Structure 1
Amino acid sequence: MPTEISDDPPTGREATRYLIDEALGYVYSGALRAAASLGVADLLAGGPLTVTELAARAGVDAGGLRRVLRVLATRRVFEELADGRFALTPAGQALRSDVPLSARPAVLMLTDTTLWRPAGEVELSLRQGGPVFEDLFGMSFFDYIARNPQTATAFHTGMAAFSDQENEPIAASYDFPRSGVVIDVGGGHGGFLLEVLRRHPGLDGVLMDEPHVVTGHRLDTEDVKGRWRLAPGDFFTDVPVGGDVYVLKRILHDWDDDSCVTILRHCRRAMVPGGRILVIDAVIPPGNEPHQAKAVDMMLMTAFTGRERTEAEFAALFAAAGLRIARIVPTGTMVSIVEVVEP
């Protein structure tokens, strides 16, 4: 684990040790990606194994694997037992691919080269005042994944896994209407929409995203049969009309303000009188306390044109689209529901 410090600011040698440990943070992310990619947690699902056994089953070098697992044991992902075998910890169980709410796809997405490389070029991003993805890959992030099916699959599967652990508490946090139409704009594979429809049998749903994304939808279940439809499309062009509630879950943070205003205006024009837009994104809190959104915001800075926003920044964004914040609903997750209505 990194050097622990007291509540008082570190000084002298303590501060130096602390900063050196912080600078080594990328090593842990690299080790975690390797373990996830090799399926080490799946191999340990049946119980502890020696490194030799693990390496043989994974098809990798035993000496190197021991070093990776030893690093991850300091982060309580694995545990090295007294007899030299390695075992899964409770945290490591979430890295298995066969458990509910598996973190493995999200880990693979967040440590993919498309996000990893830009994150290492923060200084370049600061100097040129924008994302560096195009400098590294020759095109924007979304153009890149449109041309690289394997990367696109990793991204959308990872986003689905990222969202799965939060969909239930978010859907439970908001008082959706008893009847009407919910349109999930940029809703990916439909995990959140599925949760909303299950909780509210009087609602119908529309899943909108790009054609290659909605083909992987998860809505074809018996409990919501006949209450949904797909709407392949581009939210920069238009969105389906007639919705009572428009959901933008983890969408606006990917885009610059002007692009967000375009999306919001499309939703405003398309919704029924008295309709509302639910922007489900992080609302960055003030102060110095840790918050996952602050780290995600820096990742967005280097790879995308978007950002995580404060309440004041959201208010300005909505005003530019002819909208206003009605309320902000906490969800018990990293994100909040920002309910947006016409003035």
Structure 2
Amino acid sequence: MTDKRRAFGRYFDNPDDLFNWLNQAVFGTAVMNALNRAGVTARILEGPVSVAELADAGDIPADLLGRMIDFLAAHEMLELDADGLVRGSSRTAMMLEASGFLTNVEISGRACAQLLPALREGKTPFEKAYGEPVFDYFHSHPDMAAGFGQFMGFMTRRVQRFIFSQHRFQPFETVADIGGSMGDMLLAILGEYPGTRGIVFDRPDVIEIARPKVEASPLAERVELVGGSFFEAVPAADLYILKQILHDWDDEECRRILGSIRAAMKPGARLAVIDHLLSDIPQPDESIGTDIAMMVWDTGRERKQSDFEALFTSAGFRIDRVTPNPNGHSVIEVVPV
């Protein structure tokens, strides 16, 4: 059952709650991003350190850094000793772990500011804000693409705990992660299923960004990196993964992706779609917020199970099993008809 306390409408019952919620979220994100990028967060996690040492390490004026440290200490993100030393905690570690997500929030904020004019002009807010559709922009800005890959890695680590405990894949020899980004999902699957091999498939520019990380993995010899377009053709495999891919695209674009996979499938192959499932009655959960994110970033959307059923049927698949996740991404396994 969805926790109704997640609904942000409750902040509108009191003007003080409303102000503090938004004020802390906006400026807190800015502070955490700044300290992550400056290397300050990583230094804090190495052990107790003075603000002066952190200022030198991060090349930030000590008085201004001290104010940011006070802010995070007040919000219980780190600890300040009586002698003034800064100490990290599990929350500080999560702040660094979530660096890709926090950067993504900052990028999204600029795009969100263009929501109304973009809707009226028939563009996505991201394109309105940045001048190009999101994946074209990533192609011409590899640093931004790398940051987005870190965000995808964060999301993968969130969902893999659920998948490996709640959804076991049928035996397979080769798994292909289509749109596999930095390879986080594929490497996690190979680690969970010994004796298997995998393919990370993504745009050639993304594959080159992912290559150093994948090749540094102890599982590298079991991984093939393949560049291409999932709208055109994908490699053959026994198990296909589409994690947070279909929600980026409209139905016709999704049918093209699914058609490429169906054409490449070996006999007995399966496709696992890892995406949010919208509830039939709107709930204040992760999926409905991400649905608006898709409106801001691209032409996609989140879907109800009935929407997926219709989409898969139109692409020559049928749903074999669904493992719903009330707190994030669900798993929908489909097979060719």
Letter of the 2:311 counterpart: L
What is the Cα deviation at residue 227 of structure 1? 4.0
What is the Cα deviation at residue 317 of structure 1? 2.1
- Give the 5 Å matches for 1:257-276: 257-276=251-270
Partner of 2:192: 199
Letter of the 2:180 counterpart: G
What is the Cα deviation at residue 21 of structure 1? 2.6
Structure 2 gaps of 5+ residues are none
Structure 1 gaps of 5+ residues are 97-101
Partner of 2:228: 233
Partner of 1:41: 41
TM-score by length of 2: 0.84
Partner of 1:149: 142
- Cα 1:128–1:28 shift into 2, 3 Å: farther
Alignment pair present for 1:131 and 2:131:
no
Alignment pair present for 1:315 and 2:309:
yes
- Give the 5 Å matches for 1:7-86: 15-24=14-23, 25-86=25-86
- Cα 1:66–1:223 shift into 2, 3 Å: closer
> In structure 2, what is the Cα distance between the partners aligned to 1:310 and 1:34?
37
> In structure 1, what is the Cα distance between the partners aligned to 2:243 and 2:280?
22
> In structure 2, what is the Cα distance between the partners aligned to 1:259 and 1:75?
43
Which of residues 222, 234, 242 in structure 2 aligns to 1:248? 242
1:184–1:208: 8 Å Cα contact kept in structure 2?
Answer: yes
Alignment pair present for 1:300 and 2:294:
yes
- Cα 1:183–1:10 shift into 2, 3 Å: closer
> In structure 2, what is the Cα distance between the partners aligned to 1:228 and 1:51?
44
C-alpha distance after superposition, 1:122-163 (max 9, x if no partner): 333444465212222221111111111222222223322432
Letter of the 1:133 counterpart: F
1:186–1:208: 8 Å Cα contact kept in structure 2?
Answer: yes
> In structure 1, what is the Cα distance between the partners aligned to 2:135 and 2:163?
26
> In structure 2, what is the Cα distance between the partners aligned to 1:65 and 1:178?
53
What is the Cα deviation at residue 233 of structure 1? 0.9
Partner of 1:167: 160
Letter of the 2:252 counterpart: D
Letter of the 2:274 counterpart: I
Partner of 1:336: 330
- Cα 1:71–1:300 shift into 2, 3 Å: farther
> In structure 1, what is the Cα distance between the partners aligned to 2:10 and 2:153?
40
- Cα 1:80–1:310 shift into 2, 3 Å: farther
- Cα 1:62–1:339 shift into 2, 3 Å: same
Q: How many residues align?
A: 329
2:173–2:197: 8 Å Cα contact kept in structure 1?
Answer: yes
Partner of 2:279: 285
> In structure 1, what is the Cα distance between the partners aligned to 2:63 and 2:217?
49
What is the Cα deviation at residue 164 of structure 1? 3.2
> In structure 1, what is the Cα distance between the partners aligned to 2:81 and 2:220?
49
What is the Cα deviation at residue 175 of structure 1? 2.7
> In structure 2, what is the Cα distance between the partners aligned to 1:64 and 1:135?
34
Greater shift after overlay, 15-24 or 281-290? 281-290
What is the Cα deviation at residue 268 of structure 1? 1.6
